[in-house]
A and B are shown apart, each in its own frame.
Chain A
């Protein structure tokens, strides 16, 4: 009798992972990563009306890596400083409190929780999309003349479930010798990220409008959102624009114009033209933001 080892097909492998993940999600047995200390403090500061810039500046100076990234970003083409930024205080002044808070939060999460060896390129792509969504979200909100401040954080975190899932899948025990390929993981992550994102948003006690945007941003659910900040619907369109803005091949503008969310936001063709025109500047900003 000859014993042969059977190698699972990608489909079988994905289904096995899905079964395990679904079970974990249903049981609520997620071992969610803790919000990095600095990110947590930044989030608290940015939501605190009594917080001032000096406290944020002091916080950043405590974290060497974060301070370095802030300096790099302030000097990047996206922010075009009038003269080279040579000190942290100068960088802080140049970037502004809100941008700095968003940036510090983003950088500390990227560099802290979700460093996953072997998937650096994919993680970077996920973050690029999240950052672009945040930046487009701000511009969409500005055109609506409606709460620009909230839109960035909603966009930045709307797919927080994706790195969380990747983190979980790779930490879980597996019969495989080698980690699953991205082709296997990606559809699974896409299917389950909202559920995971919702749980981590609750666990991290993110502001309610952000929690709602994470839970309800997709095309088929933003109409259920009730927050007056409109974070879910803004993030829905921002998510589509982020995909458009970061696409390497020629993106389909007509498909984007036909999205129901555009009509639900009452965006006329000239509003959409204005968003299309932002592509290059948002690409530059995303490059600057990425760790």
Chain B
């Protein structure tokens, strides 16, 4: 064991939350150690989560567009090019992003330690290196940013060969003929729609009556219609009794209503669990919550004042964008720096096919809060750009107060939704009246024009009041 080393700040985990915490610390003049159990920095976001799934999605979309072009241009893709090409591109993007992040950490003078962290006390941390050696370090401030991993339900034998989780599905080298997806959340819906687009016969199974239950029903209805158009099926309000590889050629899924489903592969996407098992947080005076998370206050501060926790280990919203901000703000709080105003309107982006995005209040929340609302809708097939780009199944829904004057929320389904949402976000941040969207000019033809169409729809309803 090497002698103890002292740091101003120790960050455990190098995903989006940990990385931003470490960089904020370094930029504030702190001596920073960043502990990462993997060889590469970036965490699950880079290697198993956000970056790979979005790259796969983008590649799948491009490939399908390319395949459609064979109707116009005289060329043909080899059948076996498909998945190999997707995975190679995935590898390239992931490596490039990982290298960029490593360079950023090095540039900021952050000391990286490769190993698993374990609390010895509230300030002392033992790092177990991959070769079995250990290092002990001491820090004035500690940030836990160890992220999460796919949850493995007790009754489903995930073998990463036939029954996969959201990590192992990324290493498929061929497209299965059929795929059962357990779950109806973000990860399940994203992968289900990607594989359905690629021609895999996908069946989603979940207890909820519709996928992505937390989103506006008009968005999820559109998503479900698009998913079913590619051959996908959503089987809601169903509970799994058992799922197992039959030992031969298929995964057999038995539901509690006695239905039986068969598929070549299965993806289990039933939530994630926080990575805290190696940390022994009890040694630092902390106790995990009943859900296995670390409890924090508004500043991401735990019950031990100099220990902070950020990102997936503290639970929802578990968005990379929020995790980064949590990391930065936690360090500002710890160092007594002004972190800026707390973010009010955080957009949510779901990278399904088609994309969905949401910011502000939903129609239902707005009704509950204000008693009434006016809704404006713009369908992409009414927008010139939607027609030009062949994006005819999109919808932008604007939620305004009961008088139709104040913007309360924006919800979008359709390609480009996750980019388009930021106009609504800025509108909300600046309390922009609905009429401002009508009075101003947007580029033509663009999907941004949908904001004007939706605002005009609200104005039309307003006149009827």
The interface of chain A, by Cβ under 8 A from chain B, is 47, 49-50, 52-53, 92-98, 138, 141-142, 145-150, 208-209, 226, 228-230, 257-258, 262-264, 266-269
> Judging by beta carbons under 8 Å apart, are B173 and A145 in contact?
no
B173 to chain A, nearest CB (A): 6
Q: B176 within 8 Å of A by Cβ?
A: yes
> Judging by beta carbons under 8 Å apart, are B130 and A98 in contact?
no
> Judging by beta carbons under 8 Å apart, are B172 and A268 in contact?
no
> Judging by beta carbons under 8 Å apart, are A97 and B248 in contact?
yes
Name the B residues within 8 Å of A148 (CB-CB): 159-161, 168
Closest to A49 in B: B174
B432 to chain A, nearest CB (A): 46
Closest to A230 in B: B171
> Judging by beta carbons under 8 Å apart, are A229 and B173 in contact?
yes
Name the A residues within 8 Å of B249 (CB-CB): 52-53, 96-97
Name the B residues within 8 Å of A145 (CB-CB): 160, 165, 167-168, 171
> Judging by beta carbons under 8 Å apart, are A266 and B38 in contact?
yes
Q: Identify 20 residue pairs between A and B in the complex whose beta-carbon atoms are under 8 Å apart, listed by A's number.
A: A47-B174, A49-B174, A49-B175, A142-B159, A142-B160, A142-B161, A145-B160, A145-B165, A146-B160, A147-B168, A147-B171, A147-B173, A228-B87, A228-B88, A228-B91, A263-B39, A263-B131, A266-B39, A268-B116, A269-B132
Name the A residues within 8 Å of B39 (CB-CB): 263-264, 266
CA–CA, A47 and B245, complex, Å:
19
Q: B151 within 8 Å of A by Cβ?
A: no
Q: B21 within 8 Å of A by Cβ?
A: no
Q: B128 within 8 Å of A by Cβ?
A: yes
- Count the A-B residue pairs with Cβ separation under 8 angstroms: how many? 77
A64 to chain B, nearest CB (A): 22
> Judging by beta carbons under 8 Å apart, are B128 and A268 in contact?
yes
Q: B330 within 8 Å of A by Cβ?
A: no
Name the A residues within 8 Å of B173 (CB-CB): 147, 149-150, 209, 228-229
A265 to chain B, nearest CB (A): 9
Q: A93-B247, A142-B160, A228-B90 are in contact. Are A49 and B130 (CB under 8 A)?
A: no
Q: B369 within 8 Å of A by Cβ?
A: no
Name the B residues within 8 Å of A138 (CB-CB): 161
Neighbour of A96 across the interface among B90, B167, B247, CB < 8 A: B247
B41 to chain A, nearest CB (A): 13
> Judging by beta carbons under 8 Å apart, are A98 and B161 in contact?
yes
Q: B177 within 8 Å of A by Cβ?
A: yes
How many chain-B residues does the 8 Å CB contact rule pick out?
31
Q: A52-B249, A141-B160, A148-B159 are in contact. Are A266 and B130 (CB under 8 A)?
A: yes
Name the A residues within 8 Å of B160 (CB-CB): 141-142, 145-146, 148
The interface of chain B, by Cβ under 8 A from chain A, is 37-39, 84, 87-88, 90-91, 116, 128, 130-132, 159-161, 165, 167-168, 171-177, 245-249
Neighbour of A149 across the interface among B161, B167, B247, CB < 8 A: B161
> Judging by beta carbons under 8 Å apart, are A146 and B168 in contact?
yes
Neighbour of A229 across the interface among B38, B131, B171, B176, CB < 8 A: B171
> Judging by beta carbons under 8 Å apart, are A96 and B132 in contact?
no
> Judging by beta carbons under 8 Å apart, are A228 and B171 in contact?
yes
Closest to B200 in A: A49
B199 to chain A, nearest CB (A): 10
Name the A residues within 8 Å of B37 (CB-CB): 266, 268
Name the B residues within 8 Å of A258 (CB-CB): 131
B176 to chain A, nearest CB (A): 7
B203 to chain A, nearest CB (A): 18
CA–CA, A150 and B161, complex, Å:
10
CA–CA, A93 and B173, complex, Å:
24
Closest 5 pairs between A and B when the two form their complex, measured CB to CB: A147-B171, A148-B161, A53-B249, A145-B168, A228-B91
> Judging by beta carbons under 8 Å apart, are B247 and A94 in contact?
yes
Name the B residues within 8 Å of A95 (CB-CB): 247-248
CA–CA, A146 and B173, complex, Å:
10
Name the A residues within 8 Å of B161 (CB-CB): 98, 138, 142, 148-149
Known: A95-B247, A96-B249. 14 other contacts (CB 8 A): A49-B176, A49-B177, A93-B248, A96-B245, A96-B247, A145-B167, A147-B168, A148-B161, A149-B173, A208-B84, A209-B173, A262-B130, A263-B131, A268-B37
Neighbour of A257 across the interface among B38, B132, B167, CB < 8 A: B132
Q: A150-B173, A209-B173 are in contact. Are A53 and B248 (CB under 8 A)?
A: yes
Closest to A268 in B: B130
Name the A residues within 8 Å of B176 (CB-CB): 49
Closest to B132 in A: A269
CA–CA, A94 and B248, complex, Å:
7
Closest to B94 in A: A228
